Chains A and B, each alone.
Chain A
């Protein structure tokens, strides 16, 4: 099987989510990558060095600079004449583009794949991760989004794939990018961080969250996450949210502070290697899945922990 993987990038750097998707694609067959963007040759060069990649298609066109689905999807559809499966990371970019590709190919997409059981058989979570479905596709071509935390990352170095420039159809004239309000941060990104310190509603307000959670995260070189309750209460921006409707993470260590452990939140972090929980309520559901728990007042425990590290 010949696969085409959509490379996630910001025109300068290749995003880690791509590497796990390459691993999933390699399970199906030959791996070709698509780098669509503007001034993104460096990304294509990095993509060509990923171990196991056969070819990199590079399209350098202003219409692809911001990955607008209206422009990228018809381009992918054209390339799918020579490929059997299209895979994208299950990020907001992949989730935006892939179904548009699937509909144009008249294919029922398999979303958020966590395991490949056979050439056409996949496992995916449903009901916010409360059940796992095994599905078998009967479509001629496959369109798949891949949950990054479920697959090992392919080695970023070791490959020497050829880069082939391709011209896409360009601007469909339906949509325009206006701007991106990005959270500028020195900290690691949530989805690729080794350690995550996450805070919940118990943190009271934005200032307290900042005073309690951030110093500990800085000490550990960790990313900062939050529960939906903390985001909805306005303590932190929405892109901090870990959970079924936020980001799905699986770091080596996840430290949940003042998070009770709603199903919604657990669905986003229960694949973490080690879960540590600090909560004053010893019956909080978070302790049912935590490897290491400490019951007590987070406003005493966390500053003490930060000081002793």
Chain B
């Protein structure tokens, strides 16, 4: 079984995003960029499935700027076999990303698409579900456990009420949640090896997908700032405050 793993280049999760003073967006100039953490978990899971013999080949895909090649090289260094970059210098919305991925799926015919549940920049949490819809295949979102058995995949999902388990017919889309695994670090020899792994360069036009945005971002602002309150000196004062708030 071939596994397709879409990965996105985003602001590093340790960096605090700064809104541009003109309200046009978040300032990404000279900011450290990394692979979306949820996607890193997806790459790791694909490698584990390959190590278990459940997968034969891992293809990493990214839709983004030329620099997303670095992100794909990271996936290759972790253990993906080859990569495809669909180059676009403009922001591509989840719906258009899903359409491009659908076209790649038609070409590659994977048994599973494993991807992050959301990207930590736009926080949309849509692409996996959209791809599954366009592909007419089932979806296992917010996965904390993935088990392949025969023509099915059993996915344990992190839902509001606890953990839900579903069985999906393959091929299927699985989106990863935080606790699925702890991604490995690429070793130096593997980083060197990744440099010679194949990386194909494409454009959205190659797949006949229109990436014109449907949502116009008219303004980006800082969230309202919450002011620090007071510090009290004793438990008795805390009790008094709780009583004043009417909850004790």
Contacts and interface: CB of A to CB of B under 8 A. Distances in A.
Interface of A: 10, 66, 68-70, 73, 91-93, 95-104, 106-112, 121, 125-139, 173-183, 191, 194-195, 219-220, 228, 232, 237-239, 244-245, 247, 252-253, 263, 270, 274-276, 278, 282, 287-295, 301, 304-305, 308-309
Contacts of B50: none
A136 B125 contact: no
Contact of A126 (B129, B141, B163, B220): B220
Interface string B169-191: 10010000111000000000000
Nearest to A112: B123
B166 A108 contact: no
Given A99-B129, A100-B132, A175-B169, A239 B223 contact: no
Contact of A291 (B122, B126, B161, B230): B230
B165 A294 contact: no
Nearest to B219: A134
Q: Interface of chain B, helix or strand or loop or mixed?
A: mixed
Contacts of B162: 180-183, 237, 239
Interface string B114-126: 0000001111111
Contacts of B128: 99
9 contacts: A70-B132, A109-B94, A126-B26, A131-B220, A132-B223, A175-B168, A179-B164, A181-B165, A291-B229
Contacts of B131: 103
Nearest to B163: A181
Contacts of A106: 95
Contacts of A132: 220-223
Given A92-B160, A96-B129, A131-B19, A288 B228 contact: yes
A261 to B, nearest CB: 11
A239 B158 contact: yes
B235 A191 contact: no
Nearest to A306: B235
A108 B129 CA distance: 12
B166 A174 contact: no
Contact of B17 (A10, A131, A136, A301): A131
B29 interface: no
A100 B129 contact: yes
A103 B134 contact: yes
Nearest first, the 4 A-B pairs at minimum CB distance are A291-B229, A99-B129, A108-B214, A103-B130
Contacts of B217: 133-135
Contacts of B223: 125, 129-132, 270
Interface of B: 11, 16-17, 19, 26, 93-95, 98, 120-134, 137-139, 141-142, 144, 154, 157-169, 172, 177-179, 213-223, 226-239, 241-242, 245, 247-248
Contacts of A220: 242, 247-248
Contacts of B164: 66, 177, 179-181
A183 B160 CA distance: 10
B232 A294 contact: yes
Given A220-B248, A295-B231, A102 B95 contact: yes
Contacts of B16: 130, 263
Nearest to B169: A174
A278 B234 CA distance: 11
Contacts of B231: 282, 287, 292-295
A70 B167 CA distance: 12
B157 A92 contact: yes
B230 A292 contact: yes
A97 B131 CA distance: 13
A232 B228 contact: no
A109 B247 contact: no
Given A182-B161, A293-B231, A69 B129 contact: yes
A282 B231 CA distance: 10
Contacts of B221: 131-132, 134
A191 B159 CA distance: 13
Contacts of A121: 218
A237 B216 CA distance: 39
A83 B179 CA distance: 38
Nearest to B228: A288
B179 A232 contact: yes
A253 B247 contact: yes
Contacts of B141: 69, 92, 95-96
